[in-house]
Structure 1
Amino acid sequence: MRMDDHRESDNIEDRRGRSGGGGLRLGGGKMGLGTIAIALIASYFLGINPMTVLSMLAGGGMPAIEQQAPASRPPADDPTAIFVSRVLASTEDTWNQAFREMGKEYQEPKLVLFSGSTPTACGTGQSAMGPFYCPGDQKVYIDLTFFRELKDQFKAPGEFAQAYVVAHEVGHHVQHLLGIADQVQQAKQRVGETEGNALSVRMELQADCLAGVWGKRTDTMKSVLEPGDLEAALTAASAIGDDRLQQQSQGRIVPESFTHGSSAQRMRWFRRGFDSGDFNQCNTFKTKQL
C-alpha cells in the first residue's frame, strides 16, 4: 500500500507497556473486587464511610483511586503503529464523506494499541481475543502482535491484509452509529443460540463488506493500492473464516456454530463492497444467499 505520505490519525491511544488492571490501590497494594464488596456491605450495616473500612482492611493509609495514565500517540520510530494510524485516518476520511452523502454526521472512533490486556467499557480486553470493537466506549482495540499471527499462522501477509483488519473493526463502529448493532442485539435476545449465531454471521459479513467499501473509496480518492494488495485482503478474509478455523482447531466443521461466516462468504462480501464502493450493497440482512 502506498501510504507513506498520508496523514496520521489523532484518534490513536497507545497503551502498550502499561498495566491492564484497574481498581483501588490502598497502602501500596491493590484491592480486589471481593474486598471492595466486603467494605460496601460492612459500611451499610455499620453506618460508616466505606473508604474508612477499606483503609482498615488494608492496614491503614489513605485510599486513592488508581487512575489510568493518559493515552499517548505511538512513537515516531514504530512503523507498524504509524501504518495503523494512517489506515485509521483513511477510514475517517472515507466514512466522514459517506455519512455526509447519507445526510448524517460521522463520529470518529478511537483506536487503542495495547499489549496483553487492557480495560474497556466491554470488560477486560485480551490479546487472545484478537482485534475487536467495543460499542460501550466506541473504541477499536488491537494488539499489534496479531499482525504477526496473521502473517505466520494464517498465511496472510501484506499491509492491505492488516488494513482490512482495521477497516473491518471500524465497520462495526459504522454499524453502531447507524443503529444496526442495537437492532441485531435486540433480535438475538428473542431467538435461540443457532438463530443468534446466524445473526452474528450477517453482522460480521456486513462489516467485511464495509471494509471493502472503505478499500474502494480510499483507493479512488488517493490511489493507495498496489498490485497484489486486493489478493492480500482476500487471503486474510479467507484465512479467518469459521470453517477454516474450525477445521484447523478441532478437525471438523460445525456450520450452525459459525459466528463470522465461512471463508468463501467473507471473501464474497468483502469483494462485493470493494467492487461497488457502495454502502447500500452491504445489506446482509435482506439477502437469502450469503
Structure 2
Amino acid sequence: MKFNPDADLDTSGVEDTRGSGGGGGGRLPGGTIPIGGGIGGIILLVVILLLNGGLPGGTGSDDPAVRNTAAGNLDSCKKGTDLQSNADCRFVFYQNSIQGFWAAELPRRGKKYTPAAMRVFDGSVSTGCGPATSAVGPFYCPPDKRVYLDIGFFKTLQTDLGARGGEFAEAYVVAHEYGHHIQNLYGILGRIKTRNGPTSDSVRSELQADCLAGIWTNHATTVPGRNGQPLITELSEDDIARGLDAAAAVGDDRIQEKTQGQVTPESFSHGTAEQRMRWFTRGMDSGDMTKCDTWSASTL
C-alpha cells in the first residue's frame, strides 16, 4: 500500500483522544454495541481478550503497525510526508480516502452525505451508544455518527485472531465501519430486528458493510485529497490478500472455533469467514453499490 507524500491531509474529522482518560469505562448496556455494530463478534472478542490476559493496546510494540501513542498525535498529520516521522498518520490517510470517496459517491447517486468523524481512543470511551472499552473492537455509533477505533485492536487481530495484519488490513476495518455509516444515512440500520442466526438481520448488515468496504477499495487509488492529488497511489495483490485475510479472521466461525472449540451458527452475528471475504470481493470487483444488496439475497 503506497501513500502519496504530496497529499494534503485533513484532520478535522479525526479526533485523537488517546491518553486523555476517555471516560465511560464499564461495559455496554446488554453487552453489545447497539445497531451499528463492530468488526467482529463482540462478546467472543471479549472472551479472547480475557483468555489472553487483557485489552489490546496496553503494552505497546516496536512494530509501527500496532504501537499506540499519546493523545493528539494525529493532529500533526497535515502532509503526506508526515507519515515518515509519524507512522500513525496512515490512519488519517485511511479516513480521508474512505470519507472522501463516499462524500463524492452518494451525491452522485442523489443522496446527501453527512460527514462522520473517526475518534481514536484507548482504554475506554463515552459514546452516544453508551460507554465502551477497547475490548469491543472498532465500532460505529449511529447517534454520534462516529467511527470509534482503538489502534491496539490491530495487535489483537494478529496475535489473538491470527490475521496477517498490514496496512490494508487496517484500512479494510476502517472502511467496514464507514460502511455502517453509509447504512445509517440510508436508514438501513433501522431494519435490524434479529441479532443472531446465519441469516439474521445483523449478519446481513455486517456482510453489506463488508461489501461497501470493497466498493471503496475498488476506487481507493483515485480518491483525491484536498489538493486534488490521490491519497493512496497503489494497492498491491498482497495488500488485497491481507484485507481478505482480516475479513476471514473476524468471521463468526473462526472466532467461535478459537473461543469455544465449535461453531454454532444459531449465534452468528457477523457472517462466516467465507461470506465476509465473498461480499468484500463482490464490492471490490464491481465498485457498484447496487451489488451489495444482502437484504434480498437468498444465499449469503
Counterpart Cα distance in 1 of 2:86 and 2:203: 33
SS of alignment partner, residue 214 of structure 1: helix
Supply the AA of the counterpart residue of 2:86.
P
Name 2:293's counterpart in structure 1: 283
Aligned residue for 2:172? 164
74-83 or 136-145: which moved more?
Answer: 74-83
Q: What does residue range 130-149 of structure 1 map to in structure 2 within 5 Å? A: 130-149=137-156
Gapped runs of 5+ residues in structure 1?
23-70
* CA-to-aligned-CA distance 1:165-189 (integer Å, 9 cap, x gap): 00000000000011111122xxx1x
Identity level (%)? 44
> For 1:259, what is the secondary structure of its paired residue?
coil
Distance 1:128 1:159, change over 3 A: same
Residue 129 of structure 2 corresponds to: 122
Paired AA for residue 225 in structure 1: L
* Cα distance between partner residues in 2 of 1:20 and 1:234: 32
1:31 is matched with which residue?
Answer: none
| CA spacing shift, 1:194–1:137, aligned 2, 3 Å | closer
SS in 2 for 1:156: coil
Does 1:227 pair with 2:229?
Answer: no
Q: How many pairs were matched up?
A: 237
Matches within 5 A, 1:204-215: 204-215=206-217
Distance 2:133 2:185 in 1: 25
1:86 corresponds, among 76, 93, 106, to 93
Which residue does the alignment assign to 1:236?
246
Q: Which has the larger radius of gyration?
A: 1
- Judged with a 3 Å threshold, the aligned counterparts in structure 2 of structure 1 residues 144 and 254 are, in CA distance, closer, same or farther, namely same
Higher relative contact order (CA 8 A, sep 6+): 2
What's the TM-score once normalised by structure 2's chain length?
Answer: 0.74
Aligned to 1:17: 19
Tell me how far apart the structure 1 counterparts of residues 4 and 260 of structure 2 sit (CA, whole Å): 41
Deviations 1:115-152 (A, max 9, x none): 10011111112100000000011010111101112233
Q: How does 1:1-290 map to 2 (within 5 A)?
A: 1-5=1-5, 6-9=7-10, 10-21=12-23, 72=72, 74=74, 76=76, 79-153=86-160, 154-184=162-192, 188=193, 194=196, 198-221=200-223, 222=230, 223-290=233-300
What is the CA–CA distance in structure 1 between the aligned matches of 2:271 and 2:92, rounded to whole Å?
28
In structure 2, distance between residues paired with 1:73 and 1:157: 22
Q: 5+ residue gaps in structure 2? A: 25-70, 77-81, 224-229
Q: Cα RMSD between the aligned structures?
A: 2.1
